């Protein structure tokens, strides 16, 4: 993509109302535009990151045997009357009426709807277990939307729902999602700490939150130091993760804590995922029953599993930035490489930079090419702000010797290479 064609409305001024780094950086880097309180337009750069995150989630959910669906954002209030949540959900739910005076709502979550969809077609133990998921916008009329996309009113969530014949099956589904979540966050370059949690408005009696450690987090937690040295690529890591201690501040009682204080750390955390087991809380009122092998009709056993997809964009920035801007981890970067031509007035340098761009494109590398007439200093600052993992700088040496300068955004290291070696290095 040539920057001269790309819609990238970066800002020089630091937005005054943005309190945390990710919010400031997302506005400055032209990733999002605030349309109203807690409601954002995703601009091309931000949307590319959102899509990267969605793809990782899709791949891992599919690998775990789940199937993607897409439910509407608008739901009938009638369904929520049956589950009893229409009134109990409270003011966070946005309700309105259609022209026939029927009450509708913008879904804050989808337990009711998916239970209804499921119960229309699934009647027998032979058809389950199933885990159906979607990535869809939700609306919660938060009293205090803040921190940009971290606590929005309209936000993108991955929500999955599992259906099993009995408690044993439901527990298996729950732990499979637990493990899948560790993989998903790991692939985004994040360490997520699973913390036992309350079920709140979703309900049920087993629940874990997945917290990313970051000073800007809204939760405060205690966790065992050993979390930091876990090898999440090891398939047996599960046993250890579950054994380790982690608790949110309000739940942490130093008297009864099984871990001595020197093995504990305290940190702020960002909740990027939350999973629930709630048995028949929705299947019973909504009549979702299945036949067991012995011919009995039982309420289907359920759980639900959420990931804050749009929140993750902010959370990843909170874990990866410096004074100059964002430092995207490779797997979620909007482009892998940014080309800066530092000699825009030299036709030979322009021809060289154009050729670098074409070759990177041919090699299938996602590249943003700053082909504008800005002065070099402004171009470098802009590249650091938007945080692409690799910068390719075309300067005097490129024209003279065919050598480009490569800067790694994460640690600032620089090397001089020819283009083919760089492409090989990227491939490796
Ligand atoms: C689980 C899936 C649920 O809604 N029902 C379906 C369950 N869980 S949850 O914890 O309430 O939300 C899941 C994740 O969504 C993110 N999230 C938000 N992101 C941005 N702005 C918000 N206002 C917001 N509220 C929730 C969180 O990451 C949460 O873990």
Regarding whether 260 and 130 lie in a shared domain, the answer is yes
For the residues 385-398, what does the mean pLDDT come to? 96
Q: Is residue 10 part of a domain?
A: no
Regarding whether 402 and 344 lie in a shared domain, the answer is yes
Q: Which CATH number covers residue 361?
A: 3.40.50.800
Q: Does residue 392 carry a pLDDT above 90?
A: yes
Of 291, 319, 347, which one is at a domain's C-terminal end? 319
- How long, in residues, is the chain? 428
Regarding whether 376 and 314 lie in a shared domain, the answer is no
Q: Is residue 399 part of a domain?
A: yes
Residue 390: the pLDDT is: 98
Å from CA of 241 to ligand 1 middle? 22
Q: Confidence class of residue 37 from pLDDT cuts 50, 70 and 90?
A: very high
Q: Is residue 325 part of a domain?
A: no
Q: Confidence class of residue 199 from pLDDT cuts 50, 70 and 90?
A: confident
Residue 12: the pLDDT is: 87
Residue 260: the pLDDT is: 93
Count of the separate structural domains present in the chain: 2
Residue 116: the pLDDT is: 96
114 Cβ neighbours under 8 A, 6+ residues apart: 69, 71, 132, 161
Question: Which residue has the CA at smallest separation from atom 22 of ligand 1?
Answer: 151
Q: Does residue 388 carry a pLDDT above 90?
A: yes
Regarding whether 115 and 222 lie in a shared domain, the answer is yes
Please report the DSSP string for 214-227 in residue order: -TT-SEEEEEEGGG
* Pair of tokens at residue 414: 């620089």
Q: What percentage of the chain exceeds 90 in pLDDT?
A: 89
Based on DSSP, count helices (H) and strands (E) in the chain, helices before strands. 13, 23
Residue 65: the pLDDT is: 98
Regarding whether 371 and 253 lie in a shared domain, the answer is no
pLDDT digit string, tens, across residues 151-186: 999 999 999 999 999 999 999 999 999 999 999 999
Q: Is residue 235 part of a domain?
A: yes
**Integer Cα distance of 426 and 98 in angstroms:** 54
Of 261, 287, 319, which one is at a domain's C-terminal end? 319
**Integer Cα distance of 363 and 424 in angstroms:** 10
32 Cβ neighbours under 8 A, 6+ residues apart: 26, 40, 41, 42, 43, 46, 148, 149
Q: Does residue 322 carry a pLDDT above 80?
A: yes
For the residues 233-260, what does the mean pLDDT come to? 88
Regarding whether 87 and 27 lie in a shared domain, the answer is yes
Residue 231: the pLDDT is: 82
**Integer Cα distance of 142 and 391 in angstroms:** 39
Question: Which residue has the CA at smallest separation from atom 7 of ligand 1?
Answer: 306
Ligand 1, pocket-test mutation among 306, 309, 310, 316, most atoms within 8 A of CB? 306
Regarding whether 59 and 197 lie in a shared domain, the answer is yes
User: Do strands 154-164 and 192-196 pair parallel, antiparallel, or not at all (unpaired)?
Assistant: unpaired
Ligand 1 touching residue 211 (CB < 6 A): no
User: Do strands 130-139 and 67-68 pair parallel, antiparallel, or not at all (unpaired)?
Assistant: parallel
Q: Confidence class of residue 59 from pLDDT cuts 50, 70 and 90?
A: very high
Q: Does residue 29 carry a pLDDT above 80?
A: yes
Å from CA of 272 to ligand 1 middle? 8
Regarding whether 240 and 297 lie in a shared domain, the answer is yes
Ligand 1 atom nearest the C-alpha of 210 is 30
Ligand 1 touching residue 269 (CB < 6 A): no
For the residues 266-276, what does the mean pLDDT come to? 96
Q: Is residue 57 part of a domain?
A: yes
Ligand 1 touching residue 141 (CB < 6 A): no
Q: Is residue 11 part of a domain?
A: no
Residue 3: the pLDDT is: 98
Of 290, 319, 348, which one is at a domain's C-terminal end? 319
pLDDT digit string, tens, across residues 335-383: 999 999 999 999 999 999 999 999 999 999 999 999 999 999 999 999 9
Q: What share of the chain is helix, strand, coil (3-state, %, to 5)?
A: 35, 30, 35
Q: Is residue 352 part of a domain?
A: yes
Residue 15: the pLDDT is: 85
Average pLDDT, rounded, for the chain: 95
DSSP 300: P
For the residues 39-56, what does the mean pLDDT come to? 98
Regarding whether 114 and 42 lie in a shared domain, the answer is yes
Regarding whether 312 and 343 lie in a shared domain, the answer is no
Å from CA of 158 to ligand 1 middle? 9
Q: Is residue 177 part of a domain?
A: yes
Q: Does residue 104 carry a pLDDT above 90?
A: yes
Q: How far is CA 332 from CA 55, 251, 317, in A?
A: 9, 34, 11
For the residues 284-307, what does the mean pLDDT come to? 97
Domain residues for the domain of 190 are 21-319
Q: Which CATH number covers residue 289?
A: 3.30.930.10
Regarding whether 346 and 312 lie in a shared domain, the answer is no
Regarding whether 45 and 187 lie in a shared domain, the answer is yes
**Integer Cα distance of 254 and 252 in angstroms:** 6
**Integer Cα distance of 365 and 420 in angstroms:** 13
Å from CA of 54 to ligand 1 middle? 15
């Amino acid at each position: 993509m040539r920057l001269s064609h790309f819609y990238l409305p970066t800002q020089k001024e630091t937005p005054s109302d943005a309190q945390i780094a990710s919010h400031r950086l997302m506005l400055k880097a032209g990733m999002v535009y605030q349309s109203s309180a807690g409601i954002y337009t995703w601009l091309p750069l931000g949307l590319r990151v959102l899509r990267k995150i969605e793809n990782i989630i899709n791949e891992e959910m599919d690998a775990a045997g789940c199937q993607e669906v897409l439910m509407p954002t608008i739901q009938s209030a009638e369904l929520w009357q049956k589950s009893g949540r229409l009134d109990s959900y409270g003011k966070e739910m946005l309700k309105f009426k259609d022209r026939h005076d029927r009450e509708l709502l913008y879904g804050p979550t989808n337990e009711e709807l998916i239970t209804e969809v499921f119960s229309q077609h699934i009647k027998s133990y032979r058809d389950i277990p199933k885990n159906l998921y979607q990535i869809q916008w939700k609306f919660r009329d938060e009293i205090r939307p803040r921190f940009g996309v971290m606590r929005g009113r309209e936000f993108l969530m991955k929500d999955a729902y599992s259906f099993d014949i009995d408690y044993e099956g439901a527990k298996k589904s729950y732990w499979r999602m637990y493990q899948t979540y560790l993989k998903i966050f790991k692939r985004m370059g994040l360490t997520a700490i699973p913390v036992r949690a309350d079920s709140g408005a979703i309900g049920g009696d087993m629940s874990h939150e997945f917290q990313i450690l970051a000073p800007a987090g809204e939760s405060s937690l205690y966790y065992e130091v050993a979390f930091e040295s876990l090898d999440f690529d090891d398939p047996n890591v599960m046993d250890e993760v579950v054994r380790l201690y982690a608790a949110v501040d309000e739940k942490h009682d130093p008297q009864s804590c099984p871990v001595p204080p020197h093995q504990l750390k305290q940190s702020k955390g960002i909740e990027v995922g939350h999973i629930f087991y709630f048995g028949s809380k929705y299947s019973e009122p909504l009549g979702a029953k299945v036949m067991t092998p012995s011919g009995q009709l039982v309420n289907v056993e359920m759980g639900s599993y959420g990931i804050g997809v749009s929140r993750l964009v902010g959370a990843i920035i909170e874990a990866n930035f410096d004074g100059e801007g964002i430092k995207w981890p490779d797997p979620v970067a909007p482009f892998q490489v940014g080309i800066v031509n530092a000699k825009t007035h030299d036709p030979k340098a322009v021809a060289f930079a154009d050729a670098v761009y074409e070759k990177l494109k041919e090699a299938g590398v996602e590249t943003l090419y700053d082909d504008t007439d800005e002065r070099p200093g402004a171009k470098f600052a802009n590249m650091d702000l938007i945080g692409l993992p690799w910068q390719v700088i075309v300067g005097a040496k490129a024209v003279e010797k065919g050598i480009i300068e490569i800067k790694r955004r994460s640690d600032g290291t620089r090397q001089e290479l020819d283009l083919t070696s760089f492409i090989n290095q990227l491939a490796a």
